[in-house]
Chain A
C-alpha cells in the first residue's frame, strides 16, 4: 500500500498555506517555513480546518479527538477570493465492551457466505465478529433532555449545519418526538480490543449526561466509557467553486477532495481523493480531465451534484441520488470502470482488464445457455410448487424460468443436475452478472435508452469563455449561474439549480441546434 509504493514520499508537518503565483499553485509552505515545490497540490483537510470540538459547554480547537486543528489554509484561500462555510459533524461515545450485558441485546451476525469489496484476489473473511442491536427508551430520552440546556446544539454555540441523515441522538429525540425508542448498533472496533462504537448515539451533550443516559440503555446498566461523543465544526468550501475535475476555478493546479468540499463519509471522501489524484496527474501533462458521467458511476453522480448543485449541509450518497440505479450496481462496477482506468493508464490494470473481459464473455455464454436449454416439467415442477410458481405443462427454455419473480439460479441449480454441472465451471460473480442481466433486461434497456437520450445533450459542448450575460433571453438567474459554474456541456447546464428547461432551449438555439 502507501509505504510499499516507490512513488510516494512522506513528510510530517502542519501545512499553513500554499505557494500561489499568478493564479497558479506551485507547492506548499510548512509550519517550519519550508517551501516544497510541486506541479499540483491536492487538499484533503477533513475536519481539521479551524476545527472546533464541542462537548457540552466546553469547546476547544481540534481536528479530531486528541489532535490539534489546522489554521492558515482557510485564511489564505479567503484572501485569494474563495468563499468558505462552516459545517458540523459528530461522533458517538466509545465504551468498554467488557462492561456490557449482551444477553439483553439482539445479536447481528455477518453473512453466512460473506462477500468482499475488491475485484482483486483479496481473501474472503473466514471467522466473523457479531454486532449487537439495542434500543434507547423514554427513560433514556428523559435523561438526555435534562442536559439540553447545556447542549451546544440547542444553545446556539454550534452554527455549522450537520448531516441530516446521521443526526445526533439529541437531534433525533427532538425532531422525532413521537418515537419512544431509537435503534443503537453496538459495533466492535476490532479483533484485539474491547472498545465498542455505539452507532446511533452521536452526541455533543455534556459527558455526564451521555454517561447517565447510556447507562439506562438495555444491556448498558454497568457501562464504562472510554471517551465521550463530541461534535466538531470545521471549514468547508462550497464545491460550486470547483471544475468537474475537482480543480479549483480560481487557482490552477489546486485540487480539493473530501470533507473540504462539504461531503460526509469515508467512501465519499475516498472516491473524491481518487479522482483528484488522477486529475492532478493529468493536469500536469495537459491531458484531458477525467470525468465520470452520472450514467457511469455513483462517483460521477457525486461530483456532478457537488459542482453543479453545491451543498450547504454535509452531502452523503444515496441510491436515490442516482437516476440510473439499475446500471450502477455493485456487481458490475468492474465492467463499468476497469476498462476506463486501463485506458487512462492506471498502473496494474492489464490483468484486471483481462479478468473483466473474460467475465463479460462468460456471462454472455451463460445467458446463451439459458436461451438454448430446455427445462423438463418432471424435473422442475416440485421446485416451482415449493415457491408458489405455476407448474410447467410442457418443456420451456430455462430463461423463461429464471425471469419469473421469486426464482433465482441458486434454487434452479438444486433441482436441475445438468444446470448444476454446467454452472459449476463459473464463479458466483459471473453467474450473478448473467442472472441480473436476464432478470432485469427490460429495466436495463429502458435506462440505457434514457442514458443515450441524455448523452446527446452531454455531447453538445459549451464554450469555455462565453459571457452568458450577453444572452438576454436567458433568465437572470440562469445568466448568473452559468457564468459562475461554467458548464462544459448542455447536459451539465441542465442540472444546475436555477437553469430551467426554457433556458436550455435558449442555449440549444445559441449553439445552433
Chain B
C-alpha cells in the first residue's frame, strides 16, 4: 500500500510541518503522519508567532527555507516590532495570527 519513503515525520505540529517541508525541499520523499488531518499546524496555545528572541528564530527559519515566516505573513491580524527603543540586537518581530488561516495556509495546495 505504501512505497518506501526517505523520511517519515510523525506529528504535524510546528515541528512536524517544518521537518516535512525541509526534508522534501532537500529532495527526500516524505510521509507526514498525523492522528488527525484536520488539526495540522494548530496554534494550540496563543494565536501569535515571534516575540523577543522567538521572532529572530522565525526570521532564521525563513532564511533557511522554512515556511513558518511565510505562513505567518499570510495569516497575521497584527504586527509589532518589539523593543524598538533598545538596540538592534533586541528588535523582535511579533505577529498575532488568525489561528484558522494559519493552519489552512500551512496545508495549502
Contact = CB atoms under 8 A, between A and B. Distances in A.
Contacts of B49: 117, 266-267
A5 B13 contact: no
Interface in A32-51: 34, 36-48
A268 B16 contact: no
Contacts of A319: 52-53, 56, 89-90, 92
A152 B5 CA distance: 43
Contact of B96 (A187, A192, A334): A187
Interface string B1-34: 1101111111111111111111111111111111
A117 B73 contact: yes
A209 B71 CA distance: 37
Interface string A286-300: 000000000001110
Interface in B21-73: 21-37, 39-40, 42-73
B23 A280 contact: yes
Given A330-B93, A338-B63, A117 B11 contact: no
Given A117-B62, A337-B60, A122 B73 contact: yes
Chain A interface: which size bin?
35 or more
Contact of B78 (A4, A7, A34, A128): A128
A344 B65 CA distance: 11
A317 interface: yes
A270 B39 contact: no
Contacts of B30: 7-9
A273 B17 contact: yes
Nearest to A68: B35
Given A34-B2, A115-B93, A267-B50, A258 B14 contact: yes
B35 A317 contact: no
For B18, B35, B63, B78, the residue with the greatest tally of chain A CB atoms inside 10 Å of its CB is B63
A480 B70 CA distance: 44
A193 B81 CA distance: 25
Contact of A345 (B27, B31, B68, B108): B27
A34 to B, nearest CB: 7
A277 B21 contact: yes
A329 B89 contact: yes
Nearest to B65: A346
Q: For the complex of A and B, list the 7 residue pairs with the smallest distance between their C-beta atoms, beginning with the closest.
A: A277-B22, A258-B15, A273-B15, A117-B69, A273-B18, A190-B98, A277-B19
Interface of B: 1-2, 4-37, 39-40, 42-74, 76-81, 87-93, 95-101, 105-109
Given A118-B72, A270-B15, 19 more contacts: A3-B107, A7-B23, A11-B32, A42-B7, A44-B16, A110-B78, A116-B93, A117-B73, A190-B97, A192-B98, A267-B51, A267-B61, A268-B57, A270-B14, A271-B18, A273-B18, A280-B23, A298-B60, A317-B54
